[in-house]
Amino acid sequence: MKEIQVRTLEDTAHLAERIAALLDDVACITLDGDLGAGKTTFTKALGKALGVMRTINSPTFTILKSYPMGDKGTLYHIDAYRLEGITQELGFEEVFEDGVCVIEWPCLIADQLPKERLEIKITLADEALRVFELHGVGERYKRIVEAL
C-alpha cells in the first residue's frame, strides 16, 4: 500500500502519467471515493497519458464507454454508480480481457471484478488535499505500486 498526496490537477496528471507508464495493454484499475473525490478527473488524465485523443466524460448514464488509445488498444471506462441494486451479471469479462479498464464505484460490481487489479481509493482530506491510496492486488500490481 502506498499513499500519495495530490493538491492540484497537475498532481493528478503527473500521478496518472507515472501509472500509465507502468501498465500493460490489458489492465484493471478500480477507483473508490465519494462523489467529487476526483475519480473521473484521474480517468481523463490516465486516458490522456495513454494516448486517448477524445474527451473522456463521466459515463454515469451509460455504464461503459470505450476510447481508442491511438494504436495501442482500447481504454474502457466503467462507472457502476447506476448499477446500485442490480445483481445480474453484466458480462464485463470480454472487456476486462481486452484493454485497460478503469472502474468507478467498483464496490457495486465487486463480485465481477478481475482478480488482479490496481485499487485506488481517493479521499478528500480537505478542499485542497486529496489522498490517493494505492493497493496492488496480485503480483503484477504489487510491483506497479512498489515502482511508483
Ligand X SMILES: Nc1ncnc2c1ncn2[C@@H]1O[C@H](COP(=O)(O)OP(=O)(O)O)[C@@H](O)[C@H]1O
- Name the residues that contact ligand X, by CB under 6 A: 6, 8-9, 11-12, 33, 35-41, 130
**To the nearest whole angstrom, how small is the minimum distance from the Cβ of residue 105 to Mg ion?**
8
Among 23, 40, 41, 118, binds Mg ion (CB under 5 A): 40
In the complex with ligand X, the residue whose CB is nearer, 36 or 72, is 36
Distances (CA, A) of 60 to 1, 24, 145: 29, 26, 28
Rounded distance between C-alpha atoms, residue 77 and residue 105, angstroms: 11
Q: Which does 41 bind (CB under 5 to 8 A by kind): ligand X, Mg ion, none?
A: ligand X
Determine the residue with CB nearest ligand X.
38
In the complex with ligand X, the residue whose CB is nearer, 33 or 136, is 33
Q: Does 64 bind Mg ion (CB under 5 A)?
A: no
**Angle, helix 39-49 to helix 9-20, in steps of 10 degrees:** 50
Beta carbons within 10 angstroms of residue 82's beta carbon: 14
Q: Which does 37 bind (CB under 5 to 8 A by kind): Mg ion, ligand X, none?
A: ligand X
In the complex with Mg ion, the residue whose CB is nearer, 39 or 117, is 39
Residue type, 138: G
Q: Does 30 bind Mg ion (CB under 5 A)?
A: no
Q: What's CA 142's distance to the chain center, in Å?
A: 16
Name the strand (E) or helix (H) holding 35.
none
CB 101 within 8 A of CB 24: no
| Positions that interact with Mg ion (CB under 5 A) | 39-40, 58
